[in-house]
Amino acid sequence: MMLKLFFGLVSAGVVAAAPKGDRHEKDKFNWNSTKSVIAFGDSYTYVQGTLGRTNATYIGDNFNLTFTPAKLFSNRIVLNQTWANQGSAAGGSNWIEYLTQCGVQKGLTDPQTCVKQLWSFAYGGANTISEDGFTPAHWNHTVSFAQQIEQFASYGNPALQSIGLDKSDALVAVWIGINDINDLAKLRGKNESFTPLYEKVQRNVWSNVEKIYRLGYKKYLIMNLPPLDRSPSPAVNASLINTFNNIAASHADAFASRHSDATVLQYDVNTVLNSILDQHDAYGFKNVTKFCPGFNKADIRSDPSKYGCGEGLDTYFWYDSGHLGSRTNQVFAGMLEKWLGRRSWT
């Protein structure tokens, strides 16, 4: 409710001019005509599926990465209080659900009924690559980013092609690196030189994006690291985040220059979220340093004062020690949507 008031106040210094020019029609990004968003990443981006593992995924896990088209299409997005976290790691709908408006209605949503279909293969707890022991998997069921891409190439893409999903109207969203930077900080100690490690993460990220590109997808939305340094229990400081994000941006730029027919939209969500934190009152956030201790209780929304969170979860910027709240996701997804509009070809 209070949300409406604050929308549009800040565009967070993210400058974007609508591209113009001579380009093959099907290569031009246009948010209005985008019919599907295909997402990869970690808990920030995972969407709960009825056939997925609770708190982790839409479909499948590391014990069984395979699925048939029939299984994928019988699956539903869950937004339901009887499920822990109500279907995401944000305690409600998350950014990719708000952006697509797919998975924002209570109950179950069939992605095929959405104007912009959402197909998220992101997995809660995922690192970029775990198979070589560089940053070990959080659990034995975890599906790394690299495995998500393999799973997509083997099962997801063929299934989506079987229902006629048009690659030229699809946007591939990638948000990965949050677990990598936290795990590297914890595993390697304070005095490690992190730059070569972040370079390795990004080489892995982009060799996998390359695999999606080879499947024929040309439009990418890349999110950089959020201000984890301002989270309730940070493992990294702002300078490490900036180093990581600068390395990530240079790899994204290099990918874009290698592939002139690809659109690589780099959203500086770090700057956007820092700006929301700096002006949190204007957005109705009262608590930007801690999380509500009752965040995952079934009655938290109906009785927040029971947990000392009188004004409710929506006034907390952080949902838990490392995740953005659902309303935080909604606020920046609204800004992202406007930004995508400005990045659209006219």
Ligand X SMILES: *[C@@H]1O[C@H](CO)[C@@H](O)[C@H](O)[C@H]1NC(C)=O
Least separation in angstroms between CB 157 and ligand X: 16
x/- map, 285-304, ligand X, by CB under 6 A: -xx--x-xx--x--------
Using the minimum distance from each CB to ligand X, give the nearer residue, 209 or 221: 221
Angle formed by the axes of helices 195-214 and 238-258, to 10°? 30
Residue 221 in tokens: 């939305």
Report how many residues bind ligand X under the rule CB under 6 A: 34
Interaction of residue 190 with ligand X, rule CB under 6 A: yes
Phi, psi of 310 (to 5 degrees): -45, -45
Q: Identify whether the C-beta of residue 181 lies closer than 8 Å to the C-beta of residue 241.
A: yes
Within 10 Å of residue 194's Cβ, how many Cβ atoms?
Answer: 19
Among 99, 126, 129, 240, contact with ligand X (rule: CB under 6 A): 240
Least separation in angstroms between CB 198 and ligand X: 12
The DSSP letter of residue 58 is S
**Which residues 98-157 are close enough to bind ligand X by CB under 6 A?**
106-107, 140
**Which residues 46-85 are close enough to bind ligand X by CB under 6 A?**
50, 54-55, 64, 66-68, 71, 80, 82, 84-85
**Which residues 267-286 are close enough to bind ligand X by CB under 6 A?**
286
Interaction of residue 21 with ligand X, rule CB under 6 A: no
Interaction of residue 2 with ligand X, rule CB under 6 A: no
Alpha helices, DSSP H, located in 279-325: none
Q: Identify whether the C-beta of residue 316 lies closer than 8 Å to the C-beta of residue 292.
A: yes
Alpha helices, DSSP H, located in the chain: 3-6, 69-74, 95-100, 145-151, 157-162, 178-188, 195-214, 238-258, 269-278, 326-342
Using the minimum distance from each CB to ligand X, give the nearer residue, 52 or 209: 52
The DSSP letter of residue 219 is E
CA neighbor of 99 nearest in space, from 85, 114, 113: 114
What residue has token string 């995924």? Answer: 57
Interaction of residue 237 with ligand X, rule CB under 6 A: yes
Using the minimum distance from each CB to ligand X, give the nearer residue, 238 or 249: 238
Using the minimum distance from each CB to ligand X, give the nearer residue, 274 or 344: 344
Is the Cα torsion angle 298, 277, 243, 335 positive or negative in sign?
positive
Using the minimum distance from each CB to ligand X, give the nearer residue, 237 or 302: 237
Residue 335 in tokens: 């800004």
SS3 call for 267: strand
Provide the binding-site residues for ligand X, judged by CB under 6 A: 30, 32, 50, 54-55, 64, 66-68, 71, 80, 82, 84-85, 106-107, 140, 189-191, 237, 239-240, 286-287, 290, 292-293, 296, 308-309, 341, 344, 346
